[in-house]
Structures are given as C-alpha cells and as structure tokens.
Structure 1
Amino acid sequence: MQLFSTFETTGFLEMAISTLEKRGIKKESIFAVPLDNKEKDRKIFDTLHRSDGTSLIDIGMGLATAFAVIGASMGFKLAWGPIFSGLAGAFVGFVLGFAIRLFMELVVRKNKRALKGEHAEIILIVECEESQAELVEDILWSHFALGVAKVK
C-alpha cells in the first residue's frame, strides 16, 4: 500500500520521516519529492480566464469620487463650470489612484514576495504493509501534513 502526503517545507517533514523510520518503515520505502517553484513573475492584469483576486481600480475609484466632488464644488467659481470640473477631477483622481495601486503591486508586493521566500510543497510517498497504513497515516497527520491519500 502507498500513502501520499503533502507537506510545507518545515521541520515537521523531517520529524515525520524520522518517526516513520523509528516505527519500522524502511528508508527505501520513503520517498520525498520537492515541487518546483514558479519562476515566472505573476501577471499584473487579469484576463477573462484568470484572476489573482486583486483589483487595480479600487483606490482609483475612491479617489475619482473624492476628486469629482471637490472639482464640482470648486467648479461653481471657475469659468469651466461644475460639470466639466467634476469630470476633470474624477479623471485626475482615477489616474492618480490607479498609479498608486500599480506602484504598490509592482514594487511593494514584489519585494514582500521576495522577502517572504515562498516555497513549494513537498510530496511524501510511503510504501508500507496494509496493517501499518493506519499508523503511518496517524503519524503524517500528527506532523501537520496538508493532505494524505491511500492507494492500494
């Protein structure tokens, strides 16, 4: 019987392997495979089929609203009038907010991802007798496995 499990790159994986060896599982029956990290940079703009959950226009819309109100208020005193001044304020606010958010995504978040050091998971494959399967599964869960599957 084979048990497949995934772990984050932590010391719990090593502790799980050493516990399995102490409980009678041979070294040759334990196989660990690290998954590769994605090396390409993430795309900033979403497509129809893929979205990363971040919005680039949220700050822009808020600033557009605020600048439109301020522009319309001041437009009563200007020669252009309140409507054109409000539209101009909305455009300036949206562009400013979009630029702020784009800067945050390109510079600030990229540095956080680099400092965070995102690591891929590790797949652990354990071959054992059917009578040992329950023990092995308990050991893997107790050492914080992300997921465990059995294959006969």
Structure 2
Amino acid sequence: MKIEFSSKGGAAMSLQWTEDLAVGQPQIDSQHREMFQRFDAFMEACSKRHGLEHLRELFAFLDRYVAEHFQAEEALMEDQGYADLEAHRQQHVHFRRRLADLRDELDAAGPTVHVLVHTNKVLLFWLTEHIKAEDRRFGEHLRRKAGSVRANLSESG
C-alpha cells in the first residue's frame, strides 16, 4: 500500500493499492484495487473541495461493493477451509453496520462535513487495517495451501 501526502493545492492524500496487498485470487484482488481507486478518487475530490458533492455516489458504490465483494470473499474463504472465516465474517458485519449508520446520517442530515469526515475515517481504517492485515492473512492461507498442494503433487509424481 502506498500513501502519499501532497501540499500542492491544499492537503491532498493518495492511497494506492500495491501488489503487497494481493491475496492471490484475481477476483478479490481486482475488487480491492477498485475500492482503493474509488477511495483515491474520492480523496482527490475532497482535496478540491468537492467531496460533499460525491458522497451519495460513493455510498451507491459502497452498497454494491460490499454486497458483491463480501459475498465473493466469504464464499472463497469457505471453499478454501479458512479457519478464521467466522471472525472475518463478523468484521464484514461490523463494517456493514458502520456504513448503514453513516448512510442513515447522510439521509437524515444530507451531505455534511461531519458525514464526509466520518466516512473518510471509516474507509481509511478499512483500507489500511482490514485489507492490509486481515485480507492479507487470508492471502497467506491461500499461498500456504497452494504450496502444500504443490508439495503433495511433487511427492506423488
């Protein structure tokens, strides 16, 4: 993961997906890349003082992303016998609740600076902590499992 701060034209931050975040499964990695790209574009809009205008668009993306990505990720974890699936699933439930709370706040108050800042904080934490740590741990599980399959094939071949 690459985080850059720039003082040009205000306080801008760029958060970019890097290969070290890959779990090794193309669909999941592609979805993670898209999340990083969307957040980076949103941060760019915020740096140009257009973040409030893009909040509803961001939430529309997040609604689709969470539904599709979490389902795909959890199905793969189950298929691959991931021991920490239930704990991981609970983190997804918690994130969905946080997004629902933010969505409720957005619907009640409209696109306010408070909602904007809180949304940025929640997403930044998710990207830097959950994907960087928890999803990478699943990637390590996939690599270990693939390594043991290769070892078994070479022993039997």
Q: Would the TM-score normalized by the shorter structure come out above 0.5?
A: no
Higher strand share: 1
Higher helix share: 2
| RCO higher in structure (CA 8 A, sep ≥6) | 1
TM-score, normalised via structure 1 length: 0.31
TM-score, normalised via structure 2 length: 0.30
Choose 1 or 2 for highest CA Rg: 1
